[in-house]
């Protein structure tokens, strides 16, 4: 995955730490953006705690979806330093496709909140959280930002502003794909794959974003219409053997809304 941005190749790495004294971390200010980690409430009966990575971009700056496309740095979150946390799942609102001539990228050119679901071990609910965050923010230069953000969910579990912000972040995530609104693999051979998309609304509005993960790499999907159906074709580099697991994550965006789902490995 490329890590350049726009017209310059200047890279900066920033580091920040904060005390775990509240349910939201202190803000990290960097060129073009400020970021923080927010949680709300306490873990539920299954040990799950909702939170978000809050990214406030300055005008003219951008950040990326889980697969940025031709260039960019996808956001990642690492909580391995926390022995009480078994998982931290980062999710994304529907991205936009941007064409800057030399490359196309998928992401956001406006402030965005990325939902996070933390899963705690039994009996450890409410433990402080320290997360290592890595993401890219770009204007004419790309600034990879590395930070350690800390929160204590139990410090202010009923903060109404944090609760409202996290609730809004989860509400912005696309609904789960289902019959009549989603994507399936139509053809796959060699270095190409075609996906059939089902949805209501105008075909010209549809964009498919598919994440290159687990050894897969994709070019930007190209849409075409055949026999009243909508297809997206990509060039693909794939692993020698299909991995185990549910498959490849995608988001389908149309003027009728957006959904996210998984297509099986192929």
Q: Which of 138, 159, 171, 114 is nearest to 9 (CA)?
A: 138
Separation of alpha carbons 16 and 70, rounded Å: 28
pLDDT confidence of residue 20: 55
pLDDT per residue as tens digits for the range 177-206? 999 999 999 999 989 999 999 999 899 999
pLDDT confidence of residue 157: 83
- Cα 9–Cα 210–Cα 86 angle in degrees, nearest 5: 90
**Does 37 have pLDDT greater than 90?**
yes
CB 106 within 8 A of CB 221: no
The mean pLDDT of 106-133, rounded to a whole number, is: 92
The DSSP symbol for 259 reads E
pLDDT per residue as tens digits for the range 135-153? 999 998 888 999 999 999 8
The mean pLDDT of 29-42, rounded to a whole number, is: 92
pLDDT confidence of residue 123: 81
What topology is assigned to 28-173 in CATH?
Immunoglobulin-like (2.60.40)
**Does 5 have pLDDT greater than 80?**
no
pLDDT confidence of residue 250: 98
**Does 25 have pLDDT greater than 90?**
yes
pLDDT confidence of residue 156: 82
Q: Count Cβ atoms below 10 Å from residue 164 Cβ, excluding itself.
A: 11
CATH 2.60.40.1250 in the chain is located at: 28-173
pLDDT confidence of residue 19: 52
pLDDT tier at 124 (50, 70, 90 boundaries)?
confident
**175: helix, strand or coil:** strand
**Does 9 have pLDDT greater than 50?**
no
pTM of the model: 0.90
Separation of alpha carbons 163 and 144, rounded Å: 29
> What is the overall mean pLDDT for the chain?
89
**Does 253 have pLDDT greater than 80?**
yes
**79: helix, strand or coil:** coil
Torsion over CA: 224, 252, 188, 216 (sign): positive
Q: Which of 25, 14, 47, 31 is nearest to 165 (CA)?
A: 25
The DSSP symbol for 163 reads H
- Cα 224–Cα 213–Cα 39 angle in degrees, nearest 5: 110
What topology is assigned to 176-263 in CATH?
Immunoglobulin-like (2.60.40)
């Amino acid at each position: 995955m490329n890590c350049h941005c726009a017209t310059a190749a200047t890279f900066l790495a920033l580091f920040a730490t904060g005390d775990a004294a509240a349910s939201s971390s202190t803000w990290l200010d960097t060129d073009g953006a400020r970021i923080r980690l927010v949680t709300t409430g306490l873990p539920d009966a299954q040990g799950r705690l909702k939170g978000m990575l809050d990214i406030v971009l300055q005008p003219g700056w951008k950040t990326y979806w889980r697969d940025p496309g031709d260039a960019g740095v996808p956001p990642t979150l690492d909580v391995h330093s926390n022995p009480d946390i078994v998982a931290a799942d980062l999710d994304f609102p529907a991205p936009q496709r941007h064409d800057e001539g030399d490359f196309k990228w998928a992401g956001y050119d406006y402030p965005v909140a990325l939902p996070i679901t933390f899963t705690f071990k039994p009996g450890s609910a409410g433990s402080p959280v320290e997360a290592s965050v890595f993401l890219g923010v770009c204007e004419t230069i790309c600034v990879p930002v590395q930070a350690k953000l800390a929160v204590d969910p139990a410090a202010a579990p009923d903060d109404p502003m944090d609760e409202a912000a996290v609730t809004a972040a989860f509400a912005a995530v696309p609904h789960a794909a289902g019959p009549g609104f989603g994507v399936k693999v139509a053809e796959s051979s060699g270095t190409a794959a075609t996906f059939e998309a089902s949805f209501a609304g105008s075909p010209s509005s549809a964009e498919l974003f598919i994440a290159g993960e687990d050894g897969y790499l994709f070019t930007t999907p190209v849409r075409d219409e055949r026999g009243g159906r909508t297809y997206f074709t990509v060039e693909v580099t794939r692993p020698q053997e299909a991995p185990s697991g549910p498959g490849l994550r995608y988001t389908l965006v149309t003027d009728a809304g957006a959904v996210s789902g998984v297509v099986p490995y192929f």
